[in-house]
Amino acid sequence: MLTRKQRDILTLLIRHVEQHGVAPSFDELCDAAGLKSKSGIHRLMSGLEERGYIARLHNRARAVSILRHIDGSDYTENRPNPNTATTQDSAKAIYEDVVEIPLLGKIAAGSPITALSDHSNLMTVPQYMIGRGEYFALTIEGDSMIDAGILDGDTVLIERSDTAQTGEIVVALIDHEEATLKRLRRKAHSIALEPANSRYETRIFGPDQVKIQGKLKGLIRQY
Question: Would you call 144 a catalytic residue per the annotation?
Answer: yes
Q: Which of 47, 26, 171, 16 is nearest to 98 (CA)?
A: 26
Active-site annotation holder among 144, 187, 198, 211: 144
Q: In this structure, are residues 171 and 217 in contact, taking their beta carbons and an 8 Å threshold? A: no
Beta bridge partner(s), residue 27: none
Report CA 19 to chain centroid distance, whole Å: 31
DSSP 8-state secondary structure symbol assigned to residue 75: P
Q: In this structure, are residues 109 and 180 in contact, taking their beta carbons and an 8 Å threshold? A: yes
Active-site annotation holder among 38, 65, 92, 182: 182
CB contact burial 8-35 (16+ within 10 A = b; e otherwise): bbbebbbebbeeeeebbbbeebbebbeb
Radius of gyration for the alpha carbons in the chain, expressed in angstroms and rounded = 21
DSSP 8-state secondary structure symbol assigned to residue 68: B
Catalytic residues: 144, 182
